[in-house]
Structure 1
Amino acid sequence: MRYPDGGGLTAVERARRERVRFQAAEMFAAGMRPPQVARVLRVSRKSAYAWHAAWRQGGRDALRSKGPSGVASRMQPGWRAWLARALEQGPAVHGWREDQRWTLARISVLVARRFHVRFSQPQLSRILRQMGFSVQVPVHRAAERDEEQVRVWREETWARVERR
């Protein structure tokens, strides 16, 4: 099963699934067999049998949610707030004056300088998406762009090249 960008189940979805397992525990306590529980709760028989085995060994508490799966991110909530502010300030404030674009490589260096932790670019991309940032395609214009020279090139130089 594929999950959205955040990965895994949300807290609401985990709670809903936990409630279903608790309903199953009540049914087991009332004497219902796993195939009946599976039919009533509209879950697979395999799940019902697994829940029944866990319930027999540890009671209702054995069916509690174990929380989100996977390793916890090293990106602390406080770091995320700092990173959001730093990104809002722009790259020039942090030493990148040649152009005004944030790249994953630059953001990775920024985080490493501040928190002494390296994130891979795909991991950093996921973190930024979770923070609400999206990929932006910048308008490719230099900060030092001279509109007069651009106009001259377009009208004179390009006109000569195009005639050939």
Structure 2
Amino acid sequence: MQALNFPQYSFRFKNKENKVSIFDAIRKKFVILQPEEWVRQHCIQYLIEEKKFPKSLINVEKELTINGLKKRYDIVVFNPNGSIHLIVECKAPSISINQSTFDQIARYNLKLNATYLMVTNGLNHYFCQMDFENSRYQFLKNIPDYTP
């Protein structure tokens, strides 16, 4: 798999029937290693190792319904009180991040009301803080580290 713009992490892999799987520490299972999954697993490790978010507050690939359509978010980080702190949208490295990517995460956030948004394709990372009062987001250099 392609080198990404994240620190180096150790992963567990499994090869079965010529399909490589990577272990997801949040879902506690092996998942097929696709380019987007490679980005998602790096991002999960980044949130745990660099940003110090507890695994217990991280949720991966859950379904939500928006305007009657079933969608799946990549990563959500909860606050200890159950509200949503951060939504992460992961794309494969070959997918460029553009306005439609931000529109997608913004639509998810209309339902989830996260304080922070992160969009990444593993090579480029974008961080935003929501300004709910003015219905917009402000770009940040990074998201804040976890504080209990």
TM-score tier after normalising by the smaller chain length: under 0.3
TM-score (norm 1): 0.19
Greater share of strand: 2
Larger Rg: 1
